């Protein structure tokens, strides 16, 4: 049978679907039935309870004031040890701060650090609110196994920090410092002392 003779049969086998056209205005204006409507009823209790977050005291800690206090009173000379994690052999370490300046709640530190007899300039930031320390070496030298690009980081101020090396092959180390007994800071202009809240 030729294809031309099959064409009317094929067209008759395909059902034709007709879609009624409803204007968009009529569809939008027709409300949908809803049996799930519930009227609003106010809560039974008429007193509003304060939650635990709103009932606490206001924070009275002043990080800017503490930064100014640290600027005046932080010891200028620190002694201790640096222990690299690859050798676990502690070596002597000393740090001398030559400039301490408060900028808001951040204390800017400048000075020099000597590790195992080699000295290098340093610059760091100490957060007066969290006691977070970031301390950078400012030379391209090998100081006790420390490399340019790494930094000391700590959460206990200048007391204890860890060396974060710039390469993954260097495991880092631990810097443990204490104030030298005779290292009182130079007295600056007299002002009202800031009392700590802790």
Handedness of CA 167, 169, 171, 172 (dihedral sign): negative
Q: What is the pTM of this model?
A: 0.61
Q: Residue 118: pLDDT band by 50, 70, 90 thresholds?
A: confident
The pLDDT of residue 13: 58
If one counts every other C-beta atom within 10 angstroms of the C-beta of residue 126, the result is 23
pLDDT digits (tens, 9 = 90+) for 45-69: 655 555 555 555 677 889 999 999 9
User: 158 with 178: CB under 8 angstroms?
Assistant: no
Task: Please check whether residue 35 lies inside any domain of the structure.
Answer: no
Task: Please check whether residue 2 lies inside any domain of the structure.
Answer: no
The pLDDT of residue 179: 94
| High-pLDDT (> 70) share of the chain, % | 63
- Classified as helix, coil or strand, 121 is strand
Task: Please check whether residue 119 lies inside any domain of the structure.
Answer: yes
Whole-number average pLDDT of the chain: 78
Task: Please check whether residue 133 lies inside any domain of the structure.
Answer: yes
Phi, psi (deg, nearest 5) at residue 21? -90, 120
Task: Please check whether residue 85 lies inside any domain of the structure.
Answer: yes
H-assigned helices in the chain: 3-13, 24-29, 63-73
Residue 142 tokens read as: 């090998």
Number of domains in the chain: 1
Q: Residue 168: pLDDT band by 50, 70, 90 thresholds?
A: confident
C-alpha closest to that of 135 among 105, 102, 157, 115: 157
The pLDDT of residue 150: 85
Task: Please check whether residue 14 lies inside any domain of the structure.
Answer: no
Q: CATH number of the domain that 126 lies in?
A: 2.40.128.620
Task: Please check whether residue 197 lies inside any domain of the structure.
Answer: no
The pLDDT of residue 189: 47
Task: Please check whether residue 88 lies inside any domain of the structure.
Answer: yes
Residue 89 to residue 94: CA distance in whole angstroms: 16
- Identify the domain containing residue 171 by its residue range: 75-179
pLDDT digits (tens, 9 = 90+) for 101-114: 999 999 999 999 99
């Amino acid at each position: 049978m030729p294809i031309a003779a099959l064409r009317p049969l094929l067209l008759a086998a395909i059902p034709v679907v007709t879609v009624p056209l409803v204007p968009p205005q009529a569809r939008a204006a027709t409300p949908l039935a809803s049996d799930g409507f519930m009227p609003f009823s106010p809560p039974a209790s008429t007193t509003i309870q304060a939650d635990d977050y709103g009932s606490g005291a206001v924070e009275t800690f002043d990080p800017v004031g503490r930064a100014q206090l640290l600027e005046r009173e932080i010891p200028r000379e620190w002694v201790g040890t640096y222990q690299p994690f690859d050798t676990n052999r502690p070596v002597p370490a000393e740090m001398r701060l030559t400039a301490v300046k408060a900028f808001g709640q951040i204390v800017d530190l400048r000075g020099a650090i000597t590790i195992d007899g080699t000295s290098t300039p340093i610059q760091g930031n100490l957060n007066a609110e969290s006691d977070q320390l970031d301390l950078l070496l400012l030379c391209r030298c090998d100081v006790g196994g420390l490399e340019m690009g790494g930094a000391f980081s700590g959460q206990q101020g200048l007391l204890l920090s860890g060396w974060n090396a710039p390469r993954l092959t260097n495991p880092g180390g631990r810097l443990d410092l204490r104030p030298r007994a005779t290292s009182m800071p130079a007295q600056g202009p007299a002002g009202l002392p800031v009392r700590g809240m802790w």
